[in-house]
Chain A
Amino acid sequence: MKIIKKLFDTQRKHFEETGKLSAFKPLFEAFETLFFIPAITTKHAPLVRDSLDLKRFMSFVILALVPPLVYGIYNTGYQSSLAQNQSLDMIYVFMRGLEITLPIIIVSYGVGFFWEVVFASIRKHNISEGFLVTGLLFPLSLPPSIPLWQVAVGISFGVVIGKEVFGGTGRNIFNPALTGRAFLFFAYPASMSGDSVWVAAGRGAQQAVDTVTGATPLAQAVLSQAGDNLENLLRDAGFTLKTLLVGGYPGSIGATSTLCCALGAIILILSGVASYRIILGGVAGLLVSSLALNLVSGPGSHPFLSLSPIFQLAMGGFAFGIVYMATDPVSAPGMEQSKWVYGFAIGVLTVLIRVFNPAYPEGVMMAILFMNLFSPLMDHIEIQMRLKKRIPNV
């Protein structure tokens, strides 16, 4: 600890205003404050302050991301080994997963952090901790076979266009990680959708994997014909409810396991960092709308309409989206009742996009971005209603 302190103290002079590296002062401070909570005392009342700061706040999101991250790494390696008929030994699979996912995560953090430093240096403010979350959320939402240059382009778009052009942290309309993903989805659909992207080959084995279709359960569902029993179809393809809940199927790196996301949700809700209203509202919206579709579906309709709500909840990236993306406090509404509506609408939209739009097998990304757009309006309406109840005091 003293060594680190000494290191910062001796190097600080280079980053001061007269130092050679003064342009990188935010970078220096970001690292220093990561190691040491600075000794700042209060000047204005109240003179006492809570121990919670934004670093701790964001650390809880990272902590909640650990279950899907670890499982995602394992599953990526597992699917890759499975496709290439290689050893399914746990450690081997995990190392293979690391080999595939680690470069993606490093590129995401590295490139994104570069943009943060550029903007912080120009604007002369500190680097916000929000990026620690964006930089991890983004890679976890990508397919494992994504080329690294696309990761770099995607996170650049997410950070610069999704956040910094609006003025930086706290001012963005859309969730930056999801903005980056949406950009890749539309700009490079070949790497982001279809059957062949969800299983990564690992180094030097591209050929072998190309012959394996790693179709996701959602793609399976969309392709089914009228009269099919979708649950049987899914089961035959290896997607039992248990598999879907645990997440052992091809998909986005961190988004396949509903159980891990539920674990993360518990951490976020217990610590009070994310809004339970959004998460529960979203789950309710998904269940209610898919149940409603069950009721209206007839023998001639698409089997996706009659799929059990539990399957809807378990498959795809909905759980990941509603727990980690939709609860981003900046792009979600700030008012309590609006949060219920916002979450519920995301759930409903997800099902509608999944079922009625075969072009987008997974609807949660578009659903969240769409509702992000409406959150200021929802806030406005709720605030106006609330202010009307106040006894005026002017």
Chain B
Amino acid sequence: MLTINKGGGLRLRVSGAPSLETVKLKEPEHVGSIPFSIPFIKPKLVKAEGDHVNIGTPLFYDKNNPELQFVSPGCGTISDIVFGPRRVIEKIIIHLDKSETSETFDPIDKNALKAITRKDLTERLLNGGVWPFIRELPFRGIADPDTRPSSIWVTLDTREPFMPSPDIYLQGKTNQFELGLDILKKYSDNINVSAGDGIHGHVPVTHTCPGSYPSGDPGVLLYHTKQTPDENRSWYIAGQDLLLLSSFLTKGSYPVERVVAVGGSKADKEERRHCITRIGAPIANLLPASSKKPGLRYLTGGLFRGSPVPPDSFLGLYDTSLNVIDQGDREEFLGFIRPGFAKPSASRTFLSSIHSKKLELDTGTHGEIRACVNCGSCAKICPVHILPQFMFKCIVANEIEEALAHGLLDCVECGLCTYVCPSKIELNDTFRKTKREYRNEQY
């Protein structure tokens, strides 16, 4: 086992961590599918409002890759399809039946898996709608089944606040996890399993990353282990998603179970816990109390990478985390000269840096946008040794080749550069957009 601890990253002291208490939530009335949150696809609907679907019935596919199917996370009637600006499909809402049925596929066991060809396996995973759980670096889109990755990373814990503890979602599922690894071995000889600082049960962990966020991110791990440029195109999958893959193969039906960590300083104390629920569960189901309070923001998918959702929305395909934090839209009188005992900061300019208590984060910018003064805070914190202050200038000057030489594609989009920037420059957004444009030129 290799320990990767290269410093960098952010020592976070965020309050509102979920407890290890695990509860099984009652079945919701509705579940939702959020095509909008799936990267790089152009969804084309195959079902319409009022249609009846089973668990695993295709709802839409990707126009660019029609073999990529996205299936229904529930059995019932499509009660609403909500479109956003420019006809973006925001969500598909399914009113669940009392008793649900699944589409069925041929189940296979461990031995049958050994015998099956790679092509056959890919076809099964694509048809079942579980292929999209496998993602591809550096753009973080869905893996291209026609390529052969040099390595595949299974990340049990990305160290982002607050993700479900592997101890909880792996409990009693070691065999299932190992079957998942067998699936991945069909695609690459080099399978890595990374965990935070511990070894979880009997899972064969290859890399530990005890550092702070984002040390457990697959992009960071790849950056610190790669030897040649060939390794840049690696695949990755979250530990929980790998369980879904193997569950699909052994049971022959689309798996919907999810362990979701609910946290954040503004979530009620009783709500901060691990919930066993399902893909596409409504936010309100996870947050019975705080989804009704005003002035809060709900982030699915982690505190840094997460995106804000309204409280009447649903968990996306990949979401295993829900954070509730303050909106932070308050003016602060003479804020810049306050001692700041409770202000979170990566710098040493607040008195919060002399104690080690947990601090509350909110979604205020805490300042206005200014010109870059080359303070270098971003370069100090970057986990993959990029110089964001110079790279963003390359991009603004439209020198994309130079930005690539700076390591644009190594950027793991962790958002730390943007978090620490005292000039409040949207570095992360600039990098993401540029990567997206570059990808669209290539594909």
Contact = CB atoms under 8 A, between A and B. Distances in A.
Contacts of A56: 336-337, 349-350, 367, 422
A20 interface: no
B407 A390 contact: yes
A189 interface: no
Contacts of A85: none
B365 A45 contact: no
Interface stretch (A72-80, A126-134, A178-186): A126-134
A51 B350 contact: yes
Interface in A100-154: 126, 128-130
Interface in B283-333: 297, 299, 303-308, 325, 327-333
B396 to A, nearest CB: 12
B345 A50 contact: yes
6 contacts: A37-B331, A45-B432, A46-B419, A48-B361, A50-B420, A59-B336
A169 B375 CA distance: 13
Given A271-B347, A272-B347, A393-B407, A40 B372 contact: no
Interface stretch (B97-105, B177-185, B227-235): B227-235
A126 B371 CA distance: 10
Interface string B177-217: 00000000000000000000000000000000000000000
B9 to A, nearest CB: 13
Contacts of B336: 34, 37, 53, 55-56, 59
A7 to B, nearest CB: 13
Interface of B: 138, 226-229, 232, 297, 299, 303-308, 325, 327-337, 340, 343-350, 361-368, 370-376, 379, 385, 387, 389-390, 404-410, 413-416, 418-424, 426, 428-429, 432
Given A46-B419, A393-B410, A38 B368 contact: yes
A394 B407 CA distance: 8
Interface string A22-61: 0000000000011111111110111111111111110110
A41 B410 contact: no
Interface string A150-193: 00000000000000000011110000000000000000000000
A334 interface: yes
B12 to A, nearest CB: 10
B345 to A, nearest CB: 5
Contacts of A55: 336, 367
B367 A53 contact: yes
Given A51-B366, A334-B387, 11 more contacts: A35-B333, A36-B334, A41-B329, A45-B305, A46-B303, A46-B305, A49-B363, A49-B366, A50-B346, A50-B421, A56-B422
A42 B345 contact: no
Nearest to A128: B370
A385 interface: no
A391 B364 contact: no
Given A44-B429, A51-B340, A334 B366 contact: no
Contact of B331 (A36, A273, A390): A36
Nearest to A380: B390
A170 B365 CA distance: 20
A383 B304 contact: no
Given A41-B363, A130-B373, A47 B227 contact: no
A1 interface: yes
B306 to A, nearest CB: 7
Contact of B306 (A36, A47, A394): A47
Contacts of B361: 48
A126 B429 contact: no
B409 A394 contact: yes
Contact of A38 (B331, B348, B416): B331
A387 interface: yes
A227 interface: no
Contacts of B367: 37, 52-56
A128 B420 CA distance: 18
Contacts of B366: 37, 49-53
A46 B348 contact: no
A383 B428 CA distance: 21
Contacts, number: 208
A392 interface: yes
Contact of A128 (B340, B371, B416): B371
Nearest to B14: A48
Contacts of B303: 46-48
B374 A329 contact: yes
Interface of A: 1, 4-5, 33-42, 44-57, 59-60, 126, 128-130, 168-171, 270-273, 275, 329-330, 332, 334-336, 379, 383, 386-387, 390-394
- Chain B CB count within 10 A is highest, among A4, A51, A57, A273, for A51
A235 to B, nearest CB: 41
A333 to B, nearest CB: 9
Contact of B328 (A41, A60, A332, A392): A41
A332 B370 CA distance: 19
| B interface, over-half SS | loop
B349 A60 contact: yes
A350 B297 CA distance: 55
Nearest to A8: B331
A198 B303 CA distance: 57
Contacts of B423: 53-54, 170
Contacts of B305: 45-46
B428 A46 contact: yes
Contact of B371 (A34, A47, A51, A168): A168
A379 B419 CA distance: 24
B422 A57 contact: yes
Given A47-B306, A334-B389, A393-B404, A42 B371 contact: no
A245 to B, nearest CB: 27
Contacts of A334: 374, 376, 379, 387, 389-390
Contacts of B297: 41, 47
B333 A1 contact: yes
A202 to B, nearest CB: 33
Contacts of A47: 297, 299, 303-304, 306-308, 325, 363
A50 B143 CA distance: 34
B373 A46 contact: no
A52 B410 contact: no
B375 A57 contact: yes
A52 B432 CA distance: 23
B364 A42 contact: yes
- Chain B CB count within 10 A is highest, among A38, A50, A335, for A50
Contacts of B432: 45
Contact of A129 (B228, B365, B370): B370
B349 A390 contact: no
Contacts of A36: 331-335
A170 B373 contact: yes
A272 B349 contact: yes
Nearest to B376: A334
B422 A33 contact: no
Given A48-B362, A170-B372, A391 B419 contact: no
B365 A41 contact: yes
A37 B349 contact: no
Contacts of A332: 374
A393 B409 contact: yes
Nearest to B405: A387
